[in-house]
């Protein structure tokens, strides 16, 4: 008995914002953003859309693919760094109610941009343990709402979107292994410093920027290349294969230069790595399911192929999943 992905879908908001659009209000340029990141445009959620709204759209798409009523779902897990509310209630509980998953438990998972990788392993483990039959695993982000739009070092990098997978027994693509890691010593490299119990927001001391994304870009870059290389090597070793045997590596879509550097270190051609960050930018926990959905739409996935996902981000967290498509 193995846990499988029986359906996968993504939803991105309609509004497209190009680099040139950003350059009208921020001191940046299409040339800088493209040459330093590979990003050309991103989607930005409508003012009335929060993380749960995007998650609900993608959850409905996944259930429709399986023609499955929502009350057949046993557990909803949402990975998000940009939840509707500060910590509670969970995005997952809102999704559980709005889609009509009346029998399901629900919780959120916080693992930064590695969130979907972690959530997929949670889904796999629950199903393989036999305690539930179906887990809806979702990554959903409205990062542009926690972005500091005066900080050109970060604001050009992020976009909004959601993706979801339904995990159930022997019904699709097997999740073979996962590798979940954390380097918490890098906690300050990617952080929203104020607003939590460590540093409650104090209007006398803090500005809005203290509640928004702050990143040591260089440090995260170096960590990300290592994390990508190590995750590919470790998952391949565990399966007793070489990285050349993997059909597709689906990395977290942060920056093309991170992916190029990792490809070089692994001695793999760049075309073995799927990228769509040029169109969607960094959507954190949503980027991997959005990428896999895109691959499905483009007809790139064939039965039997080995697909290796890799996430890396705040925590600092990293890791991956090996999937037999």
**Residues within the interface to ligand UT7 (CB under 6 A):** 28, 32-33, 36-37, 113, 152-153, 156, 190, 217-218, 220-221, 224, 254-255, 258, 282, 313
Measured from the CB atom, the residue of 31 and 237 that comes closer to ligand UT7 is 31
Helix, strand, coil shares of the chain, percent, nearest 5, are 40, 25, 35
- How far apart (Å, rounded) are the C-alpha atoms in residues 301 and 59? 21
For the bound state, the minimum distance from the C-beta of residue 38 to ligand UT7, rounded and expressed in Å, comes to: 10
Measured from the CB atom, the residue of 96 and 321 that comes closer to ligand UT7 is 321
CA-based nearest residue to 317, from 173, 165, 121: 121
* Cα distances (angstroms) measured from residue 241 to each of 238, 249, 250, 308, 318: 8, 14, 17, 12, 21
Catalytic residue among 113, 148, 155, 321: 113
Measured from the CB atom, the residue of 7 and 220 that comes closer to ligand UT7 is 220
Catalytic residue among 155, 252, 255, 321: 252
Q: Are 266 and 125 in contact (CB under 8 A)?
A: no
3-state secondary structure 13-53: CCCEEEHHHHHCCCCCCHHHHHHHHCCCEEECCCCCCCHHH
For the bound state, the minimum distance from the C-beta of residue 282 to ligand UT7, rounded and expressed in Å, comes to: 5
The beta-carbon contacts of 21-26 under 8 Å, at least 24 apart in sequence, are 22/155, 22/156, 25/149, 26/149, 26/150, 26/152, 26/155, 26/156
For the bound state, the minimum distance from the C-beta of residue 67 to ligand UT7, rounded and expressed in Å, comes to: 35
Measured from the CB atom, the residue of 201 and 221 that comes closer to ligand UT7 is 221
Q: Find the length of the chain.
A: 325
For the bound state, the minimum distance from the C-beta of residue 312 to ligand UT7, rounded and expressed in Å, comes to: 6
- How far apart (Å, rounded) are the C-alpha atoms in residues 194 and 148? 13
- How far apart (Å, rounded) are the C-alpha atoms in residues 114 and 287? 10
282 given a catalytic annotation: yes
252 given a catalytic annotation: yes
Catalytic residue among 19, 148, 255, 282: 282
113 given a catalytic annotation: yes
For the bound state, the minimum distance from the C-beta of residue 235 to ligand UT7, rounded and expressed in Å, comes to: 19
Measured from the CB atom, the residue of 60 and 252 that comes closer to ligand UT7 is 252
Catalytic residues: 113, 252, 282
């Amino acid at each position: 008995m193995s846990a499988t992905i029986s359906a996968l879908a993504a939803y991105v908001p309609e509004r497209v914002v190009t680099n040139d659009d950003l350059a009208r209000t921020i001191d940046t340029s299409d040339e800088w953003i493209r040459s330093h990141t590979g990003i050309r445009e991103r989607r930005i959620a409508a003012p009335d859309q929060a993380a749960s709204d995007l998650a609900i759209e993608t959850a409905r798409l996944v259930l429709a693919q399986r023609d499955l009523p929502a009350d057949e779902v046993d557990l909803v897990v949402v990975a998000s760094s940009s939840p509707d509310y500060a910590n509670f209630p969970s995005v997952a509980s809102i999704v559980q109610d709005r889609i009509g998953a009346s029998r399901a438990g629900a919780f959120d998972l916080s693992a930064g941009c590695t969130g979907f990788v972690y959530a997929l392993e949670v889904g796999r483990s629950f199903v393989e343990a036999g305690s539930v039959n179906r887990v809806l695993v979702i990554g959903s982000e409205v990062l542009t709402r926690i972005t500091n739009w005066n900080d050109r070092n970060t604001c050009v990098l992020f976009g909004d979107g959601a993706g979801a997978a339904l995990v159930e027994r022997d019904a699709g693509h097997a999740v073979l292994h996962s590798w979940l890691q954390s380097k918490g010593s890098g906690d300050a490299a990617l952080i929203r410093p104020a607003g939590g119990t460590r540093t409650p927001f104090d209007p006398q001391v803090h500005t809005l920027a203290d509640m928004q994304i702050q990143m040591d870009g260089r440090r995260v870059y170096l960590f990300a290349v290592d994390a990508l290389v190590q995750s590919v090597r470790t998952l391949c070793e565990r399966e007793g294969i070489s990285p050349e045997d993997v059909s597709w590596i689906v990395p977290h879509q942060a920056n093309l230069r991170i992916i190029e550097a990792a490809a070089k270190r692994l001695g793999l051609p760049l075309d073995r790595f799927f990228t769509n960050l040029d169109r969607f930018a960094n959507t954190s926990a949503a980027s991997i399911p959005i990428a896999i959905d895109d691959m499905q739409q483009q007809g790139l996935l064939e039965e039997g192929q080995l697909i290796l996902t890799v996430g890396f981000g705040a925590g600092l967290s990293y890791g991956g999943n090996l999937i037999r498509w």
